[in-house]
Amino acid sequence: MDLPDSVMITEVGPRDGLQNEPEVVSVDDKVRFIDLLSDCGFPEIEVTAFVSPKWVPQLADAADVLARITRRPGVTYSALVPNLEGWHRAADAGVDKVAVFTAASETFSQRNTNASIAETLTRFEPVIAAAHEAGCPVRGYVSCVVACPYEGPIAPEQVAAVIRSLGTIGVDEIDLGDTIGVAEPSDIESLLDAVGSLSAVEDLVLHLHDTQGRAVDCCTRAMERGVRRFDTSCAGLGGCPYAPGATGNLATEALVARCTELGVTTNIDPTALDAAATAIENSLGRSLPGRNAG
Ligand code: HMG
Ligand code: MG
């Protein structure tokens, strides 16, 4: 197997995980969780989203959270923004990086952002211009890269078309989301075959939910194909409020354990990760599925 020496893991639990919890976690508890995650060795933590509080009340406190976390030098603190209003809020809060998000499925795009794919791209243009003017890098998420909860399987060519459009409007990196966690390793192969020529494979990010328990095998296959960047969430926290049935992101613990087995460096400290997982489990009052994934 031809594997990379190291991979880069972005922790997305505070955003993708907590956006899907039925109850709102307090700002104090979010800050504690993020501060503990800052001790784990992640180069980037996606801390929140500056989306409409009517759509995602769980993250209405985005500015407070960013104001109160202790920023560790060397860690990028990023957040989702869907439009210019989100960008202004995120910029005022001093984010290091923003992520815009669209989909390879028209129905998902409508349900998630009340806009067609084309309309989301139009919304992103002023966001990207403003972010770049401020020296802030922009990630571009594509959801439903394998399947959509409403439309079923999605052709890799549809994903490629959206990536091309995101490239045209100037995003700095592409993040491929298996929103409902159904990918098989062969789907990842097909996806990379279709999109690998549009962006250097080592710059692509893979964001897998783990509904079917195959996400870690998909990451391994992706690593064999040269992918080096992954999103995961602490203890498998997560989901998506607009993707019925989707469970959490791939657990950070599971990917770290797999990488250790394979001799691939992650620079994540499992003991520090365990402390973060305990803290968020205490906040939620329940144990999380990916807790012992390692
Ligand atoms: P809309 O209702 O069509 O927006 O929502 P609008 O422009 O008509 O505005 C309506 C109201 O929302 C107005 O307030 C705006 O000010 C306000 P009102 O006048 O009624 O009081 N508003 C905002 N407030 C705060 N921040 C903002 C903002 N924008 C408008 N940024 C919108 C359109 C995109 C805003 C909405 O659909 C939305 O917020 N959607 C976000 C949904 C979401 O967060 N989904 C989860 C994240 S994506 C995901 O999880 C997938 C991913 O993990 C990858 C994967 O797994 O595939 C990334
Ligand atoms: Mg997600």
Residue identifier of the C-alpha nearest atom 13 of ligand 1? 52
Lowest mean pLDDT among 2-11, 127-136, 236-245: 236-245
How many percent of the chain have pLDDT more than 90? 89
Task: Tell which atom from ligand 1 comes closest to the C-alpha of 249.
Answer: 56
Q: Is the pLDDT of residue 245 over 70?
A: no
Question: Does the active-site annotation cover 240?
Answer: yes
Q: Is the pLDDT of residue 294 over 60?
A: no
CB of 293 shorter than 6 A to ligand 1: no
Task: Tell which atom from ligand 1 comes closest to the C-alpha of 56.
Answer: 44
Query: Residue 172: which pLDDT band, with cuts at 50, 70 and 90?
Result: very high
How many percent of the chain have pLDDT more than 70? 97
Query: Residue 55: which pLDDT band, with cuts at 50, 70 and 90?
Result: very high
Confirm if 123 and 84 have CB atoms less than 8 A apart.
yes
Q: Is the pLDDT of residue 240 over 70?
A: no
Per-residue confidence (pLDDT) for residue 193, from 0 to 100: 96
Instruction: Tell me the DSSP string of 70-122.
Output: -PPTT-EEEEE--SHHHHHHHHHHT-SEEEEEEES-HHHHHHHHSS-HHHHHH
Query: How far away, in angstroms, is 24 Cα from ligand 1 center?
Result: 17
Per-residue confidence (pLDDT) for residue 226, from 0 to 100: 95
Question: Given the DSSP bridges, would you call strands 173-178 and 8-11 parallel, antiparallel or unpaired?
Answer: unpaired
Q: Is the pLDDT of residue 246 over 80?
A: no
> In which region does residue 14 sit, left (phi positive, over 0), alpha (psi from -120 to 50) or beta (all else)?
alpha
Q: Is the pLDDT of residue 23 over 90?
A: no
CB of 96 shorter than 6 A to ligand 1: no
Full set of structural domains in the chain with CATH: 8-284 (3.20.20.70)
Over residues 114-167, the pLDDT tens digits come to 999 999 999 999 999 999 999 999 999 999 999 999 999 999 999 999 999 999
User: How distant, in Å, are the alpha carbons of 81, 116, 174, 176 from that of 162?
Assistant: 18, 12, 10, 11
What mean pLDDT, rounded, does the chain reach?
Answer: 95
Residue identifier of the C-alpha nearest atom 19 of ligand 1? 52
CA distance 17 to 112: 16
Q: Is the pLDDT of residue 243 over 80?
A: no
CB of 186 shorter than 6 A to ligand 1: no
Question: Ligand 1, residues 52, 112, 180, 242: which to mutate, most atoms within 8 A of Cβ?
Answer: 52
The stretch 71-90 carries a mean pLDDT of 98
Residue type, 112: N
> In which region does residue 166 sit, left (phi positive, over 0), alpha (psi from -120 to 50) or beta (all else)?
alpha
Per-residue confidence (pLDDT) for residue 286, from 0 to 100: 86
Nearest to 167 by CA among 189, 199, 192: 199
